[in-house]
Amino acid sequence: MKMPTGGKKKTKVWVVENDQVRPRSDQLVTEEPLEIRLVLPHRTIALTMRTPGDDFELAAGFLYSEGVVSSREDIDKISYCVDPDLDGEQLYNIVNVQLREGLSLNLQPLERHFFTTSACGVCGKASLEALQLRECPIIPNGLQVSVEVIYSLPDKLRQVQRVFSSTGGLHAAALFDTQGQLLSVREDIGRHNALDKLIGSVLLSGKLPLNDSIVLVSGRSSFEILQKCLVAGVPIVCAVSAPSSLAVELAKEFGITLVGFLRGRRFNVYAGKDRIHTII
């Protein structure tokens, strides 16, 4: 298999406008499958539809969010699969993850992930009780940011969404500091994949937890988006669209500030408003 071509592909479309039809070239978001495998035990743990790129970060972030690994040191190696029957050709849609020797594994929770769509991940398959059993800590409450910082986040994200600007079909997850400085951004056709890539990049660089950070996601904030942010220690989660009811419950239960409908100079705070110091 050839190396994935990246985040977008060209196509021909016909534009219908005011009863006139004209052809033009357009850009589409690339969507391809990614199989995530463990080397030992040899097992496929997830199959997701994603936009090629940052695949190792996606795998690392997924394993961290699901509690399979708890630190960078738990991962010995991540590589693309090599097919011995094809003269050692690399298979760029299969990622092998080799965990450190002796790591105790509980893979049962991953059974729900065997196939994950790019659209909605595994929404509704987890519960607050499962997070409590994993002993996820409540996020400390000392952090505060200004309302002006929250206002500024969407524009800063749009300025760096390279593939979205040409396709209009890509989600993003961005990491900011408390002054609103953009630290990192990842894009993918799936909201959950974009966040896994972002968290995976921080995990592999040894910078977790994210106790002094803000995460902004495009689209809505689901339970799984909040779950991933909780495991990474993110105190403030913002979204340009609505949260789900279970996302709000999780935010309240674990002390996360949850902002939704962040557009222009307006947003809703669904939990943890004390961290935004102008509205205490």
Whether 256 is covered by a domain: the verdict is: yes
Whether 71 is covered by a domain: the verdict is: no
Which residues are CB-contacts of 203 (< 8 A; sequence separation ≥ 6)?
60, 61, 64, 69, 71, 72
Highest mean pLDDT among 51-55, 95-99, 276-280: 95-99
Whether 209 is covered by a domain: the verdict is: yes
Q: What mean pLDDT do residues 115-143 have? A: 62
Whether 69 is covered by a domain: the verdict is: no
Whether 140 is covered by a domain: the verdict is: no
CA 75 to chain centre: 19
pTM of full prediction above 0.95: no
The total number of residues shown for the chain amounts to 280
Strand ordering across the sheet containing 115-116: 75-83, 89-99, 32-38, 43-50, 115-116
Q: What is the pLDDT of residues 188-227, one digit of tens each?
A: 988 899 999 999 999 999 999 999 999 999 988 988 899 9
Q: Which domain holds residue 220?
A: 147-279
Whether 52 is covered by a domain: the verdict is: no
Whether 178 is covered by a domain: the verdict is: yes
CATH classification at residue 208: 3.40.140.10
* Catalytic annotation present for 120: yes
Residue 161 and residue 194 in contact, taking contact as beta carbons nearer than 8 Å = no
What is the pairing mode between strands 257-263 and 236-239?
A: parallel
Whether 107 is covered by a domain: the verdict is: no
Q: Which two tokens stand for residue 20?
A: 């006139």
Q: Work out how many domains the chain is built from and give that number.
A: 1
Given 120, 136, 229, 238, which residue is catalytic? Answer: 120
Which pLDDT score, from 0 to 100, does residue 105 have? 86
